[in-house]
């Protein structure tokens, strides 16, 4: 039996590949668990500049397996919540990982596949890929952070349309809305995501972690709280070896070498 997730190193990036192509990479308990564990391992490895999430066989993720979900009708509510928490644990692992996480989307990201992609720090998608948050079409309610991530990128009226109709949204439209960083030709999303990861290798790992943390905090903090947090992180950065290298390089008119902080 094939592994639910393929975890492999490609240059500076750790790739986590949903390996359920016969079901368009519908989510499994095993994949969510393996992906969450791999993200935690990447956090402790300074040689990893970024994590790339993608799907095998040219499709990102079709969301939850309805054959599995129908059986949850027989479960107690607390047990259903525990099962949903496996997905939510993966979302938290993506957000809590200090490394940038990049989604490489081919084919489509449907159901829970859409919030998994949108939870990532950057999204690369094929120009022919689509996103669909279609829970209501089968009488379900959005999960996986769908409402949180959609309200980050679109007004309330647009979010209601996306959720209530569940229509496919092209990656080109999401790119215009600012939710996708790079559009590629079909089959090239993984290669473009790897290029971004290689560029991130030349940025200080401490600086990257602080930037990711600050951006995520900005969505929930008021200005006063965010200014205090920025001051704290800037003070920490000013005493770091990374800033010593960066400022010295600027004054000496040379390129900084942050890669030594990944050794």
CA distances from 205 to 2, 104, 111, 165 (A): 34, 22, 33, 41
Name the 3-class secondary structure at 161: helix
Mean pLDDT estimate for the chain: 96
Residue 79 has pLDDT above 70, yes or no: yes
pLDDT grade for 263, boundaries at 50, 70 and 90 = confident
- Tens of pLDDT, residues 39-77: 999 999 999 999 999 999 999 999 998 888 888 988 999
- For 86, what's the count of Cα atoms within 13 Å in the CB-facing half-sphere? 14
| The predicted structure's pLDDT at residue 1 | 52
| pLDDT for 138 | 93
- Do 59 and 107 form a contact (C-beta atoms < 8 A)? yes
Which among 58, 84, 203, 211 has a CA at the least distance from the CA of 141?
84
CB 129 within 8 A of CB 108: yes
Q: What mean pLDDT comes out for the span 10-20?
A: 97
Cβ proximity of 128 and 186 under 8 Å: yes
Where residue 182 falls (left for φ over 0; alpha for ψ -120 to 50; beta otherwise) is beta
User: Does residue 185 surpass a pLDDT of 60?
Assistant: yes
Domains of the chain: 5-200 (3.90.226.10), 205-262 (1.10.12.10)
Does the pLDDT value for residue 144 go beyond 80? yes
Share of the chain above pLDDT 90, in %: 95
Question: CA neighbours within 13 Å on the CB side: how many for 210?
Answer: 19
Q: Quick one: what percent of the chain has pLDDT higher than 70?
A: 100
pLDDT digits (tens, 9 = 90+) for 203-241: 999 999 999 999 999 999 999 999 999 999 999 999 999
Q: What local confidence, expressed as pLDDT, does residue 189 receive? A: 98
pLDDT given for residue 181 in this prediction: 98
pLDDT tens digit sequence for 147-181: 999 999 999 999 999 999 999 999 999 999 999 99
pLDDT of residue 2: 78
> Has residue 131 got a pLDDT over 60?
yes
Gyration radius from the chain CA atoms: 19
């Amino acid at each position: 039996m094939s592994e639910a997730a393929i975890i492999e190193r490609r240059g500076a990036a750790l790739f986590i590949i949903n390996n359920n192509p016969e079901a368009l990479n519908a989510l499994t308990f095993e994949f969510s668990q393996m992906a969450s564990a791999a993200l935690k391992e990447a956090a402790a490895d300074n040689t990893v500049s970024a994590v790339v999430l993608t799907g095998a066989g040219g499709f990102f993720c079709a969301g939850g397996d309805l054959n599995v979900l129908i059986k949850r009708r027989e479960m107690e509510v607390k047990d259903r919540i525990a099962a949903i928490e496996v997905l939510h644990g993966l979302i938290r692992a993506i957000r809590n990982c200090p490394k940038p996480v990049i989604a490489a989307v081919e084919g489509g990201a449907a159901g829970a596949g859409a919030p998994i992609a949108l939870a990532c720090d950057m999204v690369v998608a094929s120009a022919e890929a689509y996103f669909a948050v279609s829970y209501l079409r089968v009488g379900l309610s959005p999960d996986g952070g769908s409402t949180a991530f959609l309200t980050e990128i679109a007004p309330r009226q647009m979010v209601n349309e996306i959720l209530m109709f569940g229509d496919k949204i092209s990656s080109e439209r999401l790119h215009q809305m600012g939710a996708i960083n790079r559009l590629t030709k079909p089959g090239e999303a993984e290669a473009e995501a790897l290029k971004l990861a290689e560029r991130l290798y030349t940025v200080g790992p401490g600086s990257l972690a602080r930037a990711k943390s600050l951006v995520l905090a900005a969505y929930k903090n008021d200005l006063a709280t965010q200014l205090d947090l920025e001051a704290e992180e800037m003070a920490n950065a000013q005493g770091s070896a990374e800033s010593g290298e960066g400022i010295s390089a600027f004054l000496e008119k040379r390129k900084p070498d942050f890669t030594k902080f990944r050794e």
